[in-house]
Structure 1
């Protein structure tokens, strides 16, 4: 068993979670297992070829990958609690919950551990979402630029927001 459990809730996002899993493969920190809770997707994740290829690669690289599909939709809060309860049955030192629609920078987990090594009990990071909001916003409450992302001269993420 690894030191860290990575917890991912997903519903009807096979491409996004596949890209997230690929970004986990490139992490500088590799001491983790992956838990995926599929909250009653219309089509099971295992029906998608790209997802299966990434899962196979993770397993070949020594990661345990656990997938569970709910029988009925739980909703975000209950599904997140269920995956935590599921992973806590094993003896991990750390739990990392990641949204299914992000791509992690290659040193993301390593940077979180650097914060914990400084003596903090909890570390949280900002990830850049793959897509903008799917709901319509009233522009009178927003600045002129919506969902702007600021990068430094080397292409590293500095700010994401409205």
Structure 2
């Protein structure tokens, strides 16, 4: 029987980790171990982990802060399973999550998989709005977490990712600790010939951010990360990835058209109004909540502006740096 190693990097999130461990303790499939890597946290989760020692096959490790990518590598090195599963500490899963993955690997084996994320009924309205925005076709959600996404081959993300031991052995793990490290890892695995797949039913409830300011900072980081991916794999930087930047520049330029050419100003307002209306109607249809729908409109603008700003910032930096430059430094604060 296949044994799984569930690897969870943690940084100052003991309460959230406890909720995830509770979910893991209720899994219907039991052939797994849990590897907790405390990545230099000031607020440790050791007491929380100890509370599950009788209910889970769980191992706890503390290391100096080096960022989530290297924390996962640390977990790989200490895992005994045949197949590794990566989850963010702010995730929740259903009791049949591992059973779904196990069935998929039994019937149509892949060495690399990813699952989608969604919101939980208990989430706050802002969390639900952010979740909608991050998965919507009207934002960058339209190019992530889909079987056939506009960005090309499906690249599993580390908030909900699985990989065989063979993938780890051949890739050597995460090349960087931040700035798109999970996409870089997926690209490296796929280019070695490993097949990737989305398992739609293996979803997680992803808490994400609880306010628009930290959400903006997170998406700004994601925009920067996309440029960093282009440092390693220039052909992976595609036109579709510029859409948030173009949206940001377009919206910001609308007032200027009033001074330059008034008809374009009104066309811009009309276009923006149509976009907002479609966004609101779609959000209302999916969330069935007027408050969440209004917040979803705000979340979409925060997401696109954040991503576009980060993309511009790192892209401008990339223009002037040596083309051989690689972004490999560690991170102190986890961006996701």
TM-score, with structure 2 as normaliser? 0.37
* Residue number in structure 2 paired with 1:68: 61
Which protein has the bigger helix share? 2
> CA RMSD of the aligned region, Å?
3.0
Structure 1 residue 129 and structure 2 residue 123: aligned?
no
Structure 1 residue 7 and structure 2 residue 7: aligned?
yes
What displacement does 1:45 show?
A: 1.4
TM-score, with structure 1 as normaliser? 0.72
| CA deviation string 1:48-93 (max 9, x = no partner) | xxx25xx43x4323x32110111x2101211111111221xx3x22
Alpha-carbon distance between aligned partners in 2 of 1:131 and 1:78, rounded to the nearest angstrom: 21
Higher alpha-carbon deviation: 111-120 or 123-132: 123-132
Structure 1 residue 28 and structure 2 residue 32: aligned?
no
CA contact (8 A) 2:28 2:99 kept: yes
- Give 1 or 2 for the bigger CA radius of gyration: 2
* Residue number in structure 2 paired with 1:16: 16
Alpha-carbon distance between aligned partners in 2 of 1:105 and 1:78, rounded to the nearest angstrom: 27
Higher RCO (CA < 8 A, seq sep 6+): 1
What displacement does 1:128 show?
A: 2.1
Which protein has the bigger strand share? 1
* Residue number in structure 1 paired with 2:175: none
Where 1:60 maps in the other structure, the secondary structure is: coil
Unaligned runs of 5+ in 2: 117-203, 221-243, 249-274, 288-298, 301-336
Where 1:123 maps in the other structure, the secondary structure is: strand
* Residue number in structure 2 paired with 1:103: 92
